[in-house]
Amino acid sequence: MLEAEGLAAFRAERLVFRDIGFAVPSGGALILRGPNGSGKSTLLRLLAGLLRPAAGRLTWRGMDALADTLAQARRVAYVGHQDAVKPGLTAAENLRFAAAAARVSVRDALAAFDLAPLAGLPVRLLSAGQRRRLALARLALSSGPIWLLDEPTLGLDDASIGLLGALLASHRAADGVVIAATHLPLPLPEAAELRLAGA
Amino acid sequence: MKLFIALLARELRLSLRHLGDTLGALLFFLVAGALFPLAIGPSPETLGRLAPGIVWVCALLAALLPLDRLFGADYEDGSLDQLLLCGLPAAAIALGKALAHWLATGLPLLLAAGPLGIMLRLTPEALPALLGGLLAGTLVLSLLGTAGAAIVLGARRGGVLLPLLVLPLAVPVLIFGAAATDAAAAGLSPRPHLLLLCALLAGALPLCPIAAGAALRGAAE
């Protein structure tokens, strides 16, 4: 159970949002919606512990989640709006670091997004959608219970969205939590919705 | 520990894949060192007298070259967020980066310093002091440079700011490093200077990664 109460965040001197509260039960999902600049990405970074909240509280299973950012980092898997892949490395090499602490092999993570045939190709030869799939393949390597996704389906084809849907469903079936910011329809059945209007 | 080794492997793999950037510092070191005999004349006495200083200044400047991209690329493509969320403390990430910078830049500089010193007519007795000093010195420079690179991360014109921040901090390394070689060339013991360099290393080893880690968290916000 991930619960937030009265969260507020500043970017530089500007108040991005305030009084954000929600509760996502184990196995639940939350979709963040709102116009550009309403703070969806900022909220995801805040939940990941990359950004300190200006006010409010975040609790995970009843404990303060942001008190120890290192513990929170181990709980979350974050896919930002940037793919965070290195063009000079191959698809498999890009995942190797993320796989260091994982129980899943790089090969299985690539297969989860149908990238196995591209494993040996340098990422600079991949298309934008294929890079996005590679970024999402990190989720398959993560053992963290909280998945934070920033526009996960941007540039993905229907088949890949289906693969993402399957991965998200199995994560939720294992009592994981998914929070995603998007403008597009997501394969997250029975997800709650949070509208950010901006401050 | 497993994660730390994986981080190091990732950094070294990236350095190998961008061999041009990695070798750039080494080539700069050799070319800059080779310019001095052309400018001040090939007389062995003058060159031999100046050699320790030349090698040290060139090594210092060459070690600064790749610092600009040490965190820059990761910051721009979002990898820095992934590194910060990988489960290692930010200071450990900075330490890994510093170690990778030393292995990719400091170690090649150390290997090239001997031939460059001989080329500049450094007396053979001073060579062990030069290399011993550079071993500790390049490690300190990698640590200081990592802290500097993390601090200027996200600043406009960070590439200009970085040498201005790191070079003054590197002055003690330069003084004791060159003094150790000078002492050995004059037949004195380089030991006190080398011990002072090791003391600098002992101070930089815990402090620089902590400062760099805090700066990385700040840059990610």
Q: Enumerate domains of chain A plus CATH numbers.
A: 2-85+138-195 (3.40.50.300)
Tokens at residue A120, please? 């040996």
Residue A60 has pLDDT above 90, yes or no: yes
The complex's ipTM works out to 0.92
Indicate the DSSP class of residue A29.
E
* pLDDT at residue B131, rounded to an integer: 95
The predicted-structure confidence for A6-49, as pLDDT tens digits, reads as follows 999 998 888 999 899 999 999 999 999 999 988 999 999 999 99
Tokens at residue A64, please? 């303060």
Q: Please compute the mean of the pLDDT values over residues B200-219 and round it to a whole number.
A: 96
CB neighbour list of residue B109: distance below 8 Å, 6 or more residues apart: B25, B26, B29, B59, B62, B63, B134, B138
Residue A80 has pLDDT above 70, yes or no: yes
* pLDDT at residue A32, rounded to an integer: 94
* pLDDT at residue A171, rounded to an integer: 95
pTM over 0.80: yes
Q: Please compute the mean of the pLDDT values over residues B170-177 and round it to a whole number.
A: 95
| Alpha carbon distances (Å) from B144 to A172, B106, B172 | 45, 13, 12
**In which domain, by residue range, is B81 found?**
2-220
Question: Under a CB-based contact definition with an 8 Å cutoff, are residues A3 and A59 in contact?
Answer: yes
Tally of domains in chain B = 1
> Are A70 and B220 within 8 A, CB to CB?
no
From B29's Cα to the closest Cα of chain A, the distance in A is: 26
Nearest CA in chain B to A76: B85
Residue-averaged pLDDT of chain B = 93
Residue B1 has pLDDT above 90, yes or no: no
* pLDDT at residue A198, rounded to an integer: 66
pLDDT-above-90 percentage for chain B = 82
* pLDDT at residue B15, rounded to an integer: 92
* pLDDT at residue A199, rounded to an integer: 60
The predicted-structure confidence for A120-152, as pLDDT tens digits, reads as follows 999 999 999 999 999 999 999 998 999 999 999
A14–B contact, CB cutoff 8 A: no
Outline where B41-126 has alpha helix (H): 44-64, 68-77, 79-84, 90-101, 107-119
Residue A112 has pLDDT above 80, yes or no: yes
B77–A contact, CB cutoff 8 A: yes
pLDDT-above-90 percentage for chain A = 79
Question: Under a CB-based contact definition with an 8 Å cutoff, are residues A163 and A114 in contact?
Answer: yes
Which residues on B lie below 8 Å from A146 (Cβ)? none
Which residues on B lie below 8 Å from A138 (Cβ)? 82
How many C-beta neighbours within 10 Å does residue A152 have? 25
Query: DSSP strand E in A130-188: where?
Result: 146-150, 177-181
Question: Under a CB-based contact definition with an 8 Å cutoff, are residues B146 and B55 in contact?
Answer: no
